[in-house]
Amino acid sequence: MRANATAVYRPKTGLGQTVAIGATTTSASTAFSDQTRFVVLDADVGCHVDFEGTAATTADFHMVASVPYAFVVDPGQTVKVIQDSAAGTGTLWVSEVTF
């Protein structure tokens, strides 16, 4: 991609998910479809997400509340989430996208 270019993603119809964000347990999304190459995540509370392990911990990637983040993913992966220590419970919105 050239400098200063804007990436254009195409949301996958019907593949939006919501995942509950909790304090002591992690929640996981359903597996991403075979055409999904990116996910856009947005949460209403601070949280930590993980794509590789079996559970998210507070040592994983930190997301600030109400700031969308885009991640490259592989088909079949899931995202796991746990709340930030003082954030409270909330919702993680997962949008599967492709080129």
* pLDDT surpasses 90 at 32: yes
pTM: 0.85
Query: Token pair for residue 49?
Result: 């997400």
Q: If you count them, how many residues does the chain have?
A: 99
Rounded to 10 degrees, what is the CA torsion of 49, 52, 56, 59?
A: -80
Per mean pLDDT, which range of 1-5, 31-35, 74-78 is the poorest?
Answer: 1-5
Percent of the chain with pLDDT over 70: 91
Fold of 10-98: Jelly Rolls (2.60.120)
Per mean pLDDT, which range of 34-38, 45-49, 84-88 is the poorest?
Answer: 84-88
Q: How far apart are CA 81 and CA 58, in angstroms?
A: 9
So where are the chain's domains?
A: 10-98
Reported as a pLDDT band with limits 50, 70 and 90, residue 3 is low
Reported as a pLDDT band with limits 50, 70 and 90, residue 1 is very low
Predicted pLDDT of residue 49 = 96
Cβ–Cβ under 8 Å, residues 21 and 83? yes
